[in-house]
Chain A
């Protein structure tokens, strides 16, 4: 078989393989692509209940759908008018599942279910008084209710509740969050002489879904306008909730992607046209990248059953280095423009490409060996992508990359210019001293680096939204809090009993000012155990002959028959309030969503928090069956663990790569090929230390890309010693395309995108510079 024939066989074989891969992608993956977007899914799997996680996710999602709006004006009447206009406009949009600014049940309806079970319900304060035998206080309360205007303020009259137990239970069980108060049937808060009406809203869809945003955001704009037009006085409208932040981020990201993407594409096309004078290299590079990403996506999907968004983002950028393989291949033509054929490039470019691929693959093998689900995915994604990319270059290009037309002079001229400068470079003592001084400066910078894993800091919201959020907290004493407690147990009653232990501890935190409030189903429906205790207390301390009931009612002048009627009523009531009845009654309105009920093999409920001032105090609450769910902290923690693991792995991969290059080239050359990327990485991080740019997982992502690219620069320069200009041109070109493709990201307003851009901007420039200086200058030190 001639070399040409063997190339054709390779071409056909690889084409068939790619077509097969596309077939698998089209028929196995595309019909039902699963992309996981929850960062928490990257945590190493603990033994958890699948159904349980689903219920938690559902509750978190529901929290994320919630929003609070405050419609404020100088008078309450105006605020109500504006709120009505606001709410009505939202209703007509149909984009919301709940818009509430007026309570639709009155106190009588809400009290009905409690009255039916009053023999079992006592407020925590009253229970404490009864347990302590502090009956004097209760007698005085009853007399005050009878003889002073305070009696007028109770929901239940003196005849209906002569001892006030039910009134106190109603007061304790219908707490309103934060500084809000119930005025009529409207929730109201006041601040700085201004009255605000609360509008509680739940979106119809996930806040990060663009379909939801497209419906919700314009509806808010219309509602704001309607509220402002409803009254003559000025209206203040502030809101709190995830969707506006999500929408702002999405709009900005879309804007950046279109702007930067357009500029980048044009720049890369211009550069490649300028150097190669033809569209072919560009088209083939794009085709190669498309194959590589499709193959990587398909493989990960088949192996793991889904693709995590982080693997997709990381993997796609990392296998961006296959573009370099294309560039190196085409740049080889400058070696001998007259007689070059694609087939002749293979023996020269092939070994270097394969060596670069091998070192990088080893790196990702290390990544795959770490038991982090996300890292395994990234590794598989990258390895597949790189192998496919490399295969395309070596198998398809020899046939497809025809050398037609004249090569423009620009490339060789630029390459030669750089070459002349490098040849003229002399390593004198001065340069070495400057280098040593720089190393010290960088070392100090490294010590100053600020690490940042906070997921909030990675997604920055516009200042106006942040101000609104603060204003809501200021007026209400609480915003939409994302932290909550999960209480679980083997039965509904076990859950309620555990929740009672938790709320007992939370009461102490409220008194200490660590949190402003909490919301739990137990304030409305105590556990049967507690209800039995209540009943016993009432029976012995209140309804027993000669006890509290007799004393108070006789003193007030009730006739004995009236007293006996109440005693009989109490004795006839033998059913405590069950959870189901409470859930079905108007009394649970506004709290029943907390009850998750039977989930998988367990029962669960949620305790939400308001106005968290001290997160640590919440973390210190350790009770069996109680879990503090903090999605933000968990996400931050996950990112932190990944950052830590990937930093160590980066060092490990450099060590392994050093070993491979050492065996292949000996230590002098291995050092020259590897040191540039190591130095560029350290220098970049050192500069970040001085500039105050935080170091995060996305900085690290960029540094992994630098690892692959930087080693390739070294290998290609080392292989291209006999054709210096071509090698320099090839490496310079790949550095330029990477800089163009990622450098603009440094201007992004989204912090994590900016991290990637900034890191690559510094690290790629430095890698290129260091690689040229290390491999292409005279070895001897002069002076």
Chain B
């Protein structure tokens, strides 16, 4: 099952060579850490990450993917600020306790992580991705993966949710990259995929300034 999906997923992943993470099973945490040592060393001291993203959804019933662009800011201990610019302006703020979303400035909705099981799950995945916290991921997922391309130092890891309740939300995910995390692919039970490409990532070891902190201080609805 995993092989099929991986085959299906990988060619669509732009820029990344097709690779099956299961062909290079890597369940040992030490190996996993050494595989991710380069991006992880950059992340270790980073307090703030910024970059651009492309968020595309591939549905079998829609001929061309739904593509969104924007910028993100990750702040350690605060969360992720996800600002979609195209096709419309929308902000999603993910923190440890839940998410808040606003369109064109006004807060639309605030969902506490307690209210919707998927919220904490996705929040955790996002947090873990930006920190490449394999220990944190290993708590909820079976990890697999390996070297995708020796020459270009590319790697890929697969995540398979362990608990049944999470499996209801999505079935599996892959994370791929070289020096940075470059691409995340999430596949749901129907086989519909969400592909997130990250680029132009900058790292800052300085604590976030007041302007950055303000991004996370969304007013209550």
Contact = CB atoms under 8 A, between A and B. Distances in A.
A143 B67 CA distance: 11
Given A150-B92, A153-B121, A558 B168 contact: no
A151 B117 CA distance: 13
B82 A149 contact: yes
Given A182-B165, A557-B62, A148 B101 contact: yes
B90 A181 contact: no
A107 B169 contact: yes
A593 interface: no
Interface string A478-502: 0000000000000000000000000
A181 B94 contact: no
Given A108-B189, A146-B57, A184-B140, 13 more contacts: A106-B165, A106-B168, A152-B186, A153-B99, A154-B169, A159-B190, A159-B192, A176-B114, A180-B114, A181-B112, A185-B163, A557-B62, A559-B61
Interface in B183-205: 186, 188-190, 192, 194, 196
B154 interface: no
Contact of B61 (A143, A153, A159, A185): A159
A152 B122 contact: yes
A558 B139 CA distance: 38
Interface in A142-191: 143-144, 146-155, 157-160, 171, 175-176, 179-185
A394 B163 CA distance: 80
Contacts of A144: 90, 101, 103, 108
Interface centre among B55, B60, B61, B162 (most CB of A within 10 A): B61
B216 interface: no
Interface in A229-252: none
A149 B92 contact: yes
Interface residues of A, number: 39
A77 interface: yes
Contacts of B168: 106-108, 111, 155
A558 B62 contact: yes
Interface string B8-30: 00000000000000000000000
A182 B120 CA distance: 9
Nearest to B119: A153
A563 B62 CA distance: 11
Contacts of A140: 103, 108
A181 B113 contact: yes
Contact of A158 (B57, B163, B170): B57
A147 B117 contact: no
B118 interface: yes
7 contacts: A146-B57, A148-B92, A151-B57, A157-B188, A159-B192, A181-B115, A559-B61
A440 interface: no
Interface in A510-564: 556-559, 562
A572 B7 CA distance: 37
Interface string B57-78: 1011111101010000000000
Which 10 residue pairs spanning A and B have beta carbons closest together?
Answer: A181-B114, A184-B163, A107-B168, A153-B118, A106-B164, A147-B68, A185-B165, A562-B61, A108-B168, A157-B188
B116 interface: yes
Nearest to B80: A149
B170 A152 contact: yes
B128 interface: no
Nearest to B161: A184
A103 interface: yes
Residue from B62, B68, B94, B112 with most neighbouring chain A CB atoms (10 Å): B62
Interface string B111-139: 11111111111100010000000000001
B212 interface: no
B64 to A, nearest CB: 6
Specify which of A106, A147, A151, A159 lies most central, judged by the most chain B CB atoms within 10 Å of its CB.
A147
A158 B103 CA distance: 19
Contacts of A152: 118, 122, 169-170, 186, 194
Nearest to B167: A106
A624 B79 CA distance: 49
Dominant SS among interface residues on chain B:
mixed
Interface residues of B, number: 52
Interface string B88-109: 1010101000010101000010
B173 to A, nearest CB: 10
Contacts of A160: 190
A368 to B, nearest CB: 58
Given A153-B169, A160-B190, A184-B140, A147 B103 contact: no
A219 B139 CA distance: 30
A153 B190 contact: no
B84 interface: yes
Interface string A66-90: 0000000000110000000000000
Contact of A149 (B94, B116, B162, B166): B94
A557 B64 contact: yes
A171 B186 CA distance: 22
Nearest to B68: A147
A150 B68 CA distance: 13
Contacts of A157: 188-190, 192
A151 B82 CA distance: 13
Nearest to A146: B66
B209 interface: no
Contacts of B170: 152
A9 B118 CA distance: 89
Contacts of A185: 163-165
Nearest to B114: A181
A107 B117 contact: yes
B181 to A, nearest CB: 15
Contacts of B188: 157
B221 interface: no
Contacts of B162: 184
Contacts of B166: 184
B23 to A, nearest CB: 27
A154 B87 CA distance: 21
A175 B189 CA distance: 24
Nearest to B188: A157
A146 B120 CA distance: 19
A553 B14 CA distance: 26
A556 B66 contact: yes
Nearest to B97: A190
Nearest to B88: A143
A155 B113 CA distance: 14
Contacts of B169: 107, 152-155
Given A153-B119, A159-B60, A176-B114, A148 B139 contact: no
Contacts of A562: 61-62
A556 to B, nearest CB: 6
A160 B113 CA distance: 23
A147 B88 CA distance: 9
B120 A183 contact: yes
A112 B2 CA distance: 25
A773 to B, nearest CB: 71
A153 B98 CA distance: 11
A526 B193 CA distance: 34
A731 to B, nearest CB: 70
Contact of A184 (B64, B114, B119, B165): B165
A158 B115 CA distance: 20
B182 to A, nearest CB: 17
A641 B145 CA distance: 74
A107 B165 contact: yes
Contacts of A183: 117, 120
Contacts of A175: 115
Contacts of A103: 165
Nearest to B101: A150
Q: Which of A140, A154, A183 has the most CB of B within 10 A?
A: A183
Contacts of B55: 147-149
A154 B57 CA distance: 14
A163 to B, nearest CB: 14
Contacts of B194: 151-152
Nearest to A562: B61
Contacts of B94: 149
